[in-house]
Amino acid sequence: MKTIQRTDWHPTLLDPTGTREAKPRISGKTMIMDKGLGWNAFEDMLETAASHVDMIKIGFGTSPLYPHHVIKQKIEAAKARHISVYPGGTFLEVAVANNLVDEYFQTVRNLGFTGVEVSDGTIELDRSARSRLILKGLDAGLTVYTEYGKKCWGSTIELRSLIQTVAMDVRLGAELVTIEGRESGVGVGIFDQNGDCKDEQILEVLANIPNRNLLLWEAPQKSQQVHLIRMLGPEINLGNIGAQDILALEALRRGLRSDTFIFPNQPKAEEIYELNYDI
């Protein structure tokens, strides 16, 4: 059942783009990165913006640093609002490096997390090891999100590797493949040393991926979110969004900010994209 947001506003004032879908949605997903919110702040975030959040990632390896009752409260509150919640991929990499993968998955399940992120942003995982982790997550009843890209400064997208990774991860059952952008959005993946998007690489990736809804782009900076929405449309999947920026991003998606303002009879973002980018 889709989550319907009650509103007194005229539908066009609520969403001038006319594109936003209620949850659960297959595109236009927003992933929030929780880097250490206390319980009251987390609860306030959900009270204010839960209908605009699809996934919450408990960033990095912070999950075991919370008091037990706080992390349990967070997980249960997210689940009650139909939000997927999972630990950061770096934490699984720590488990792999210390040969504690079974213990990791057991605790993830015991705590009630609904998802897991499989990544190799810091360590090296060969294809067989990556595949085993994806299947292990699925066997544990978790939604599996994978991530492509290294976290080191200056890392870039290798197109052939990305295409192969997306194809295999999705074939095995991954829900989404995240394009690494870190929490900074600078000097990594699709972002240059100034945090600007590498448009040529983005278009090349999309030209070689059968379905853009398979990808989630980490874009922590407002300028990056604006650029990607204007370039690819409001239904792009975006991640590593700050908790304080949820409504601001949703306003960008709906054309409720000057950066993405839609005038009557103006082509919508995806139509502009089709006119200017023939991929």
The string of pLDDT tens digits covering residues 248-265 is 999 999 999 999 997 665
pTM exceeds 0.85: yes
Q: Which two tokens stand for residue 138?
A: 């699925």
Q: Which CATH architecture has domain 21-276?
A: Alpha-Beta Barrel (3.20)
* Dist. CA 7–CA 133, nearest whole Å: 42
* Dist. CA 78–CA 32, nearest whole Å: 11
pLDDT of residue 160: 83
- Using DSSP's 3-state secondary structure scheme, residue 263 falls into coil
Count CA within 13 A, CB hemisphere, residue 70.
14
Distance of CA 204 to the CA centre of its chain: 20
Q: Which two tokens stand for residue 165?
A: 């990774």
Q: In what order do the strands lie in the sheet with 55-58?
A: 84-87, 55-58, 30-34, 238-241, 215-218, 176-179, 143-148, 115-118
* Dist. CA 195–CA 240, nearest whole Å: 14
Statement: residue 220 has pLDDT above 90: no
DSSP state of 215: E
- Cβ(230)–Cβ(260) below 8 Å: yes
The mean per-residue pLDDT over the stretch 229-247 comes to: 94
Kindly give, in sequence order, each residue whose CB lies less than 8 Å from that of residue 195, ignoring residues fewer than 6 positions away.
Answer: 184, 185, 186, 221, 223, 224
Could you tell me what percent of the chain has a pLDDT over 70?
86
pLDDT, tens digit (0-9, with 9 covering 90-100), for 5-57: 667 899 999 999 998 999 999 999 999 999 999 999 999 999 999 999 999 99
* Dist. CA 85–CA 112, nearest whole Å: 9
Kindly give, in sequence order, each residue whose CB lies less than 8 Å from that of residue 78, ignoring residues fewer than 6 positions away.
Answer: 46, 56, 84, 85, 114
pLDDT, tens digit (0-9, with 9 covering 90-100), for 158-210: 788 888 889 999 999 999 998 875 554 555 567 777 777 788 888 888 888 88
pLDDT of residue 151: 47
* Dist. CA 17–CA 266, nearest whole Å: 10
- Cβ(60)–Cβ(87) below 8 Å: no
